[in-house]
Every structure is written in C-alpha cells, then in structure tokens.
C-alpha cells in the first residue's frame, strides 16, 4: 500500500515537472521576439555554448575517426575489402557517432554549465530581480540559451563527423596504406546526401532540442541552494544522456529500419 502511494506520488511529481518544463519551453519559444535585442544575446550564447565546446568536439572527433579506421581495417582486410574503409568510417560517423557522441559531449560540457549558470542566477535572486524589473527571464535568459543550443549542436555534429573522416583517412590511408583515391571515391559513391547526411542532421537537431531543453529546465527549476544546483547539474547530464540514447534508437528505427 505504502509503495503504491509513493509510486503514485512520484508519478504525479513527474507529470507536474513535465508540465512546468512545457510551460518554460513555450514561454521561451513564444516570447515576444525583439530581434534587435535578442540577436546579440543569442550570438553571445552561441559563443559560450558552441564555440567553447569546439575543442572537445574536434579532439574527440579526430580520435573516434582514427579508432574506427583502425578497428574497421582489421576486420575488412581479412576479407580483402579494405577499400570499403572510407564508406564504413563515413557512414558510422554521419549516421550514428557524429550526432550521438556530439550530443553526449555537449550535454556534459555545455548542458551542465547551462544548468549550473541558470540555477545560480536563481539562487542569487538574479531571475527574481529581472522579473521585478518587468523583464521576462524566459525571454531574456532562457530563450537565447535555448536557441544557441539548438543552433550550435548540429553544427558541432557536422564538424565532429568531418574531423572524424579526416582522422580515419590519417590512420587508414597514411598509416595503414589504403589507397587514398578509393577511400574518397567509394565514400562518395556510397554516402547518399538525403539518406545519410540529412538524417544525421535531423537526429542532431532532435538531440539539440531535447538536451538544451533539459538543461535550461533543470536550471530554472533547481532548488536554489548549492545542493539543489549540484543535483540539478547531475540530473541534466544523466537525463540528457538517457534521452539521447533512447531517442537515437527510435530515430534510427524510423530512418534506417527496413521492415
């Protein structure tokens, strides 16, 4: 009986949180746009959220591309199919690893920072003081950060995949001796723009939407104490990661499943 009650209570809590999250999202999305004022704010946040995540994305992309080439080569070479290394690396990156790993890194690097920043603004009454100045914090603080995340992540994913393909080239061609011409030409022949590139970008957009939403919501909804903020930050990373992996399965089934 007790278990049932607490199950019910926690379910209600979840639903209430979902309601608050939706309210924040709509408040931010449909905030009265003031392009002259919003644009610089979004740009600044793109710098904070996107540009400052660039290094970790570049390094990770490079290494993942190199590791993939190494792994794939050992398998392919035993079938004499090492010429397919190019498409192998490119497809895995564009369809899967680019969007997914970028989103996971983004959640850890930028999402947690967003949550902590917004939570701290709440704890130090900066959000309250905006409200009292008749400035909607959803428009002034949440919306620019949300849009910056949604814009930055797909771009980061593209950069990730590009660097990964170059890393694969470095290992496969320069080190292991696969023919450079076939690395590129078979890749070009195999990768389809709509099927592979566009779908990857769509995945990335969905992840961007969800991760940034979780990050700004957790910050805005945080209990305004040090403990509350640290909890919210952890939750951002955990919830985002689970959401990314779950959604990835659903999206992959919809996009590439043949049934």
Partner 1 sequence: MNDLVTIDNLHFSRGDRTIYEGISLNIPKGKTVAVMGPSGIGKTTLLRLIGGQLKPDSGDILFKGQSIPSMSRTSLYKARRQMSMLFQSGALFTDMSVFDNVAFPLREHTNLSESLIRLMVLMKLQSVGLRGAADLMPSELSGGMARRAALARAIALDPELILYDEPFAGQDPISMGVLVKLIKELNDALNLTSVVVTHDVTEVMSIADYVYILADKHIIGSGTPQEIKQSESELVQQFLHGQADGPVPFHFPANTLEDELLLTGGTK
Task: Summarize as ranges the residues that interact with partner 1 (CB under 8 A).
Answer: 37, 120-121, 124-126, 128-129, 131-136, 140
CA–CA–CA angle 38, 122, 210 (5° rounding):
60
DSSP assignment letter at 11: H
* Closer Cβ to partner 1, 125 or 192, answer by number: 125
Q: Strand (E) positions, 119-246?
A: none
Q: How far is the CB of 136 from partner 1 (least distance, A)?
A: 7
* Closer Cβ to partner 1, 10 or 124, answer by number: 124
Q: How far is the CB of 59 from partner 1 (least distance, A)?
A: 27
Nearest residue to 244 (alpha-carbon basis) of 117, 119, 53, 98: 98
* Closer Cβ to partner 1, 65 or 119, answer by number: 119
For the chain, how many residues are written?
A: 259
Q: How far apart are CA 219 and CA 82, in angstroms?
A: 48
Question: How far apart are the two ends of the chain, measured CA to CA in Å?
Answer: 44
* Closer Cβ to partner 1, 89 or 116, answer by number: 116
Q: What tokens appear for 121 in the block?
A: 């603004």
Q: How far is the CB of 133 from partner 1 (least distance, A)?
A: 5
**Residue 206 neighbours by CB under 8 Å, 6+ apart:** 247, 251
Q: Which residue has the tokens 């209430």?
A: 16
Q: How far apart are CA 35 and CA 20, in angstroms?
A: 26
Q: How far is the CB of 152 from partner 1 (least distance, A)?
A: 19
Question: Are the beta carbons of 199 and 256 closer than 8 angstroms?
Answer: yes
* Closer Cβ to partner 1, 58 or 130, answer by number: 130
* Closer Cβ to partner 1, 94 or 148, answer by number: 148
Q: How far is the CB of 145 from partner 1 (least distance, A)?
A: 12
Q: How far is the CB of 188 from partner 1 (least distance, A)?
A: 46
CA–CA–CA angle 98, 147, 51 (5° rounding):
55
């Amino acid at each position: 009986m007790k278990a049932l009650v607490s199950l019910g209570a926690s379910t209600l809590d979840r639903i209430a949180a979902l309601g608050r999250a939706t309210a924040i999202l709509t408040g931010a999305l449909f905030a009265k746009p003031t392009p002259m004022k919003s644009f610089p704010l979004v740009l600044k946040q793109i710098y904070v959220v996107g540009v400052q995540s660039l290094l970790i994305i570049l390094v990770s992309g490079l290494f993942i591309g190199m590791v993939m080439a190494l792994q794939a080569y050992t398998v392919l070479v035993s079938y004499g199919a090492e010429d397919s290394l190019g498409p192998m690396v490119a497809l895995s990156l564009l369809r899967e690893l680019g969007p997914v790993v970028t989103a996971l890194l983004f959640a850890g690097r930028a999402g947690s920072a967003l949550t902590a920043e917004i939570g701290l603004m709440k704890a130090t009454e900066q959000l309250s003081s905006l409200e009292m100045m008749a400035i909607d914090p959803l428009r002034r603080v949440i919306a620019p950060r949300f849009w910056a995340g949604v814009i930055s992540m797909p771009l980061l994913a593209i950069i990730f995949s590009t660097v990964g393909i170059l890393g694969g080239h470095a290992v496969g061609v320069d080190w292991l001796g696969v023919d450079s011409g076939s690395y590129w030409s078979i890749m070009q022949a195999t990768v389809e723009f709509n099927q592979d590139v566009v779908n990857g970008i769509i995945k990335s957009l969905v992840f961007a939407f969800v991760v940034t939403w979780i990050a700004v919501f957790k910050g805005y909804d945080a209990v305004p104490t040090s403990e509350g903020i640290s909890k919210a930050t952890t939750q951002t990373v955990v919830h985002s990661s689970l959401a990314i992996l779950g959604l990835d399965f659903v999206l992959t089934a919809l996009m590439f499943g043949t049934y």
